[in-house]
C-alpha cells in the first residue's frame, strides 16, 4: 500500500459528519488512497462500507477488510452498483471531489502544469477522450466556452484564440507545450492561478465532472435513508454550488423547487449552515486543502 498516496482532507470533520452507526451501511464514493475509508472502518462495527473509484491506481490501495466492498467504477453509477451488491438504501455517503495528490504528482497523467507530461487528464484511464484531443480538435468557440464556464477565465476568448492559432502550426501534445503557448497571456503576479484555471477547465471537460456530479447527487437522493447523511468535500465553486443548491433549494439551478402549492420541496436538512473549511494548521501541513469546502446534510 502507498501510504503517501493522498492526505485525506478535513478527515475528522467529514467522518464526524457521517454520524456513523456501528451496524450501518456507508459509501465512500471517491476511494483514492483509502484515507477516508480507513477512518470509517475504524468506527464501523459489523456494518458495511461500499467504496467507488474508477482510477485503476486506486485498486493497489484496497484495504484488506471483509466489511469493505470495492467497486471499480465511476460514482455516477452509484445506484446501479448498490443494487447489484444487494443494497437499496444506505445510511451515509461521503464524496471527496478533489483529484488525488497521487494523480497530480504523476507527470504522465497530465493533471499538473508543474510537470512535463502528455496532455491526458483522464481519471478513468480507459476512457477515450483526452485533454490533448480537446486542445487540438475542439472548435474555437467550444474551447472558449470551456475556459469561460469551467475555468471562469476572464480572457477565455483570447485563451482559445491563442491555442487555435498555435495548433495550426504544430499540434499541442504536452503540458509544457500548452504552458509555452499560453505564456504571453500569463499574468506575472498570478501565473499559477491562471494556469490552474486552464487545467481545471480541461480536466472538467475531459471527465465531464459536473454532469457526473449531478447524476451522482440525484442517485444519492434516492439511495439515502431518511436521516442518512450526505458529506461532500469540493474544491472549486462550480462543484460547491451544485452541492449547496441541492441541499438548500432542492435542485441544481439555484431556484427553489416547489410543489403545486408553492411549498419548497426540500430533500435535505443542512447540518451546518455554512461550509466547513480547513484550519490554518491543516492548510500548513497540506496546502492542497486550501480551497476545500465541506458540506454536510441530512436526508429528510
Check residue 6 and give its pLDDT. Answer: 65
Q: Where are the domains of the chain?
A: 11-101+209-299, 106-207
Q: Considering the entire predicted model, what is its pTM?
A: 0.92
Backbone torsions φ then ψ of 9, nearest 5 degrees: -90, 140
Report the topology of domain 106-207: DNA polymerase; domain 1 (1.10.150)
Closest CA to 21 of 45, 42, 37: 45
Say what percent of the chain tops pLDDT 70. Answer: 96
Q: How confident is the model at residue 1 (pLDDT cuts 50, 70, 90)?
A: very low
**Tens-place pLDDT, residues 254-265:** 888 888 888 878
Check residue 263 and give its pLDDT. Answer: 82
Q: Is pLDDT larger for residue 171 or for residue 273?
A: 171
Q: What is the DSSP letter of 33?
A: T
**Tens-place pLDDT, residues 159-206:** 999 999 999 999 999 999 999 999 999 998 899 999 999 999 999 999
Q: Are 232 and 97 in contact, with CB atoms under 8 Å apart?
A: yes
Q: What average pLDDT is seen over the chain?
A: 94
Q: How confident is the model at residue 147 (pLDDT cuts 50, 70, 90)?
A: very high
Q: Comparing 11-101+209-299 with 106-207, is the CATH topology the same?
A: no
Q: Which three cell numbers stand for residue 113?
A: 502544469
CATH number of 11-101+209-299: 3.40.50.150
Check residue 101 and give its pLDDT. Answer: 66
Rounded CA separation 167/227 (Å): 53
Say what percent of the chain tops pLDDT 90. Answer: 82
- Region 99-113: what's the mean pLDDT? 78
Rounded CA separation 85/129 (Å): 30
Amino acid at each position: 500500500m502507498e501510504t503517501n498516496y493522498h492526505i485525506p482532507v478535513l478527515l475528522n470533520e467529514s467522518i464526524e459528519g457521517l454520524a456513523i452507526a456501528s451496524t450501518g451501511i456507508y459509501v465512500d464514493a471517491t476511494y483514492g488512497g483509502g484515507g477516508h475509508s480507513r477512518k470509517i472502518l475504524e468506527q464501523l462495527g459489523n456494518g458495511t462500507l461500499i467504496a467507488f473509484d474508477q482510477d485503476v491506481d486506486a485498486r493497489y490501495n484496497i484495504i484488506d477488510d471483509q466489511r469493505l466492498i470495492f467497486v471499480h467504477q465511476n460514482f455516477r453509477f452509484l445506484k446501479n452498483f448498490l443494487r447489484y451488491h444487494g443494497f437499496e438504501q444506505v445510511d451515509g455517503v461521503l464524496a471527496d471531489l478533489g483529484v488525488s495528490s497521487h494523480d497530480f504528482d504523476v507527470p504522465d497523467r497530465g493533471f499538473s502544469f508543474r510537470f512535463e507530461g502528455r496532455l491526458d487528464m483522464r481519471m478513468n484511464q480507459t476512457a477515450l477522450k483526452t485533454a490533448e484531443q480537446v486542445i487540438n480538435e475542439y472548435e474555437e468557440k467550444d474551447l472558449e466556452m470551456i475556459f469561460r464556464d469551467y475555468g471562469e477565465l476572464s480572457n477565455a476568448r483570447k485563451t482559445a484564440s491563442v491555442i487555435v492559432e498555435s495548433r495550426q502550426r504544430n499540434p499541442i501534445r504536452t503540458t509544457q507545450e500548452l504552458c509555452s503557448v499560453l505564456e504571453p497571456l500569463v499574468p506575472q503576479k498570478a501565473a499559477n492561478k491562471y494556469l490552474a484555471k486552464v487545467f481545471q477547465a480541461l480536466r472538467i471537460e475531459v471527465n465531464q465532472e459536473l454532469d457526473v456530479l449531478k447524476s451522482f447527487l440525484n442517485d444519492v437522493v434516492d439511495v439515502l435513508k431518511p436521516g442518512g447523511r450526505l458529506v461532500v468535500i469540493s474544491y472549486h465553486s462550480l462543484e460547491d454550488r451544485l452541492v449547496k443548491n441541492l441541499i438548500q433549494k432542492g435542485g441544481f439551478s439555484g431556484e427553489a423547487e416547489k410543489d403545486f402549492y408553492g411549498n419548497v420541496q426540500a430533500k435535505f436538512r443542512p447540518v451546518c449552515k455554512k461550509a466547513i473549511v480547513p484550519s490554518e494548521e491543516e492548510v500548513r501541513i497540506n496546502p492542497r486543502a486550501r480551497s476545500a469546502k465541506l458540506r454536510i446534510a441530512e436526508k429528510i
